[in-house]
Amino acid sequence: MADDDIHIPVMLERTIELLAPALDKPGAVLVDATLGMAGHAEAFLRRFPEVRLVGLDRDTDALEIARRRLAPFGDRVEFVHTVYDGILDALDELDIASVEGVLFDLGVSSLQLDTVERGFAYSKDAPLDMRMDATSGLTAERVLAEYDEASLRRIFYEYGEEKLAPRFARRIVEQRAVTPFTRSAQLVDLIAKATPAAVQRSGHPAKRVFQALRIEVNQELAVLERAIPAAIDALDEGGRIVVLAYQSLEDRIVKRELQARSRSTAPAGLPVELPEHRPELRLLVRGAELADDDERARNPRATPVRLRAAERIRRVA
């Protein structure tokens, strides 16, 4: 499978439109905090010939694909193997004080979903891995083998919003005492058998459990809670941030941080707003934007996306 065949950038033109006012200047720096296979990155480098791009990714396979794809752009691109909450450290190592744009395209990449042996897809039997960074230690197999029933119940409920979390956790603990879970098909089979028929009609019963395991293995929400504030801090005045989220838990974190920093912090009743109380951000879209019907038809992975964007209007000293 060719690199270009496994990645269609989501809401590409809209992300370009939103970031363009900040990037259309000599020496502008864009951080692609979730570089992946560089679909968005390549488009930005072509559209803005003077932009310098810093690409972050925890997935070494994705970074290798991105290096090949972006090789024609030479020293305009810096590649950093890091989780995206390491954005400030990455920029510091590159001696970059501030940037004009930051893009996050969250969730599982096309590469991770389509590479069966990574174990992200519940529809295909594979080892229970689910690591976005193959150099990290925790796998889904370890979670299922080592977490107690209460911990499994918590992650299924909190990260998968799974109402049957207690039932699934109990069955997993019972089953692993007989046979360890090593393959995704084992887990899918157990969940299917534990799910009432009426519930199964509303969607694949394993979807939420797999989402919860993936989030736990990669600490996605905890990382995101650190990454969004750090990315805003990296923005120069007039710089812009665009975030594409694919499930409500991610979007809630992004929404909370962008809204908090787009409001005045002046105490109620203060007759004059002091400069230090003024908002740091200006929101660029109303609520969360969705992909249009044409894009969803072309690229089904765009269906759940929620886009939010903001501009830095004040830097904190």
- For 148-188, the three-class secondary structure string (H helix, E strand, C coil) is CHHHHHHHHHHHHCCCCHHHHHHHHHHHHCCCCCCEHHHHH
Of residues 212 and 198, more confidence is placed in 212
Query: 269: pLDDT confidence band, cut at 50, 70 and 90?
Result: low
Percentage with pLDDT > 90 across the chain: 80
Q: Which amino acid is at 261?
A: R
The binding site consists of: 38-40, 57, 84, 105, 112
Sheet strands side by side (includes 29-32): 77-81, 52-57, 29-32, 99-105, 235-245, 306-312, 281-283
In this prediction, residues 150-157 reach a mean pLDDT of 98
- Please report the domains of the chain, with CATH numbers, ordered by start residue: 3-111+220-312 (3.40.50.150), 116-218 (1.10.150.170)
The two three-digit tokens of residue 163, written as one number: 């109402």
The pTM score is: 0.90
User: Residues annotated in the binding site for S-adenosyl-L-methionine, as ranges?
Assistant: 38-40, 57, 84, 105, 112
Is the pLDDT at 21 greater than 80? The verdict is yes
Return the number of other C-beta atoms located less than 10 Å from residue 270's C-beta.
Answer: 10
pLDDT tens per residue, range 26-65: 999 999 999 999 999 999 999 999 999 999 999 999 999 9
Question: pLDDT tens for residues 212-232?
Answer: 999 999 999 999 999 999 999
Spatial contact of 311 and 279, defined as CB atoms under 8 Å apart: no
Average the pLDDT over 184-189 and give the result. 96
CB contact at 8 A, 237 and 312: yes
Which tops the pLDDT comparison, 116 or 309? 309
Query: CB–CB of 205/199 below 8 Å?
Result: yes
